[in-house]
Amino acid sequence: MTNVKSLLEMYVKMGGSLTDTYSDIAGGVPVGQYSTISDAILACSKKYSAGGGGGAEKFVVTLTKENDTWTADKTVAEIVAADAANKVVVAKFPRDGMYVELPLNVAIEYQGVYVTMFIGLVNSGNDNKIVSVQCTNQGSGDVIATTEQPIPTSTNAPLIVTLTVDQSTGNLVGNKTYKEVYDAFSTGRSVFCKGVVGSTNVSASVLAANETSGEYSLNVCVRGSIVVPEGTATDYLTLHLGN
């Protein structure tokens, strides 16, 4: 899912250069040397504020929340098409009676499944948070989900779960237990899973984690679909291929 490289690619698409520097970000090193998601997002935000975009047409997606349900005034297919047409796509995210612009980070279509994701910084009280908005359509209508997480620090940097293929079952098995994933997620850390199946790179992100009487369950987004792996505290996270 989201990583520094993809955010820097977005920065360049907006008209920025990897040799740009900002004295108040990452100690003034060039943008191309950024190593954290939060620094890359800040650079993108500055480029938007400065009217970046290299003259490209702007495509605005306005988000609305009503009764805990999110809607958008553009379809996921329209967002993917706008990105393919090299438009600068942003989402207007409502917060405290105002809108915050979030840059588009992911826009893909694969075999009729559409997935887009917007990532940006939103002020939450006295703190900034990283907000992600994922819009998907698997043939039964658009679905929008949002998450808010604290900016990663040395103590809450993302937890990376390395996946390998269990040759006896064909499942993807992680090097972290369900409890390790649950503990990390419940303290505000992002959890990303990465692995290789044949010649295909597979990535997934944990969207929710639950524990009941020693039994753990997770909501994991894999290729735009949600799977719900379950296990005990000492079991290793396992993704069943094909679910």
| 11 shares a domain with 71 | no
Q: Is residue 102 helix, strand or coil? A: strand
| 142 shares a domain with 68 | yes
The answer to whether the beta carbons of residues 230 and 238 sit under 8 Å apart is no
pLDDT for position 243: 45
Q: Side chain identity at 127, as an amino acid letter?
A: D
Q: What is the DSSP string of 31-44?
A: GGG--SHHHHHHHH
- For residue 26, what is the DSSP state? G
pLDDT for position 27: 80
| 184 shares a domain with 109 | no
pLDDT for position 131: 86
pLDDT for position 137: 92
| 93 shares a domain with 33 | no
Q: List per-block mean pLDDT (blocks of 10 residues) for the chain, which spans 243 residues.
A: 68 81 83 81 71 67 92 94 88 87 85 87 70 89 87 69 85 91 87 76 82 90 77 91 53
The answer to whether the beta carbons of residues 31 and 14 sit under 8 Å apart is no
| 216 shares a domain with 143 | no
Number of domains within the chain: 3
Select from 94, 115, 150 the last residue of a domain: 150
The torsion angle over the Cα atoms of residues 110, 82, 133 and 74, rounded to 10 degrees, is: -100
Instruction: Give CA angle at 15 (28, 105), nearest 5°.
Output: 85
**Its pTM surpasses 0.85:** no
Q: Is residue 85 helix, strand or coil? A: coil
Select from 103, 121, 150 the last residue of a domain: 150
Q: Side chain identity at 183, as an amino acid letter?
A: D
Which tokens in the block code for residue 197?
């199946």
Select from 105, 127, 150 the last residue of a domain: 150
**CA separation for the pair 32, 189 (Å, rounded):** 24
* Domain assignment of residue 174, given as a range: 159-239
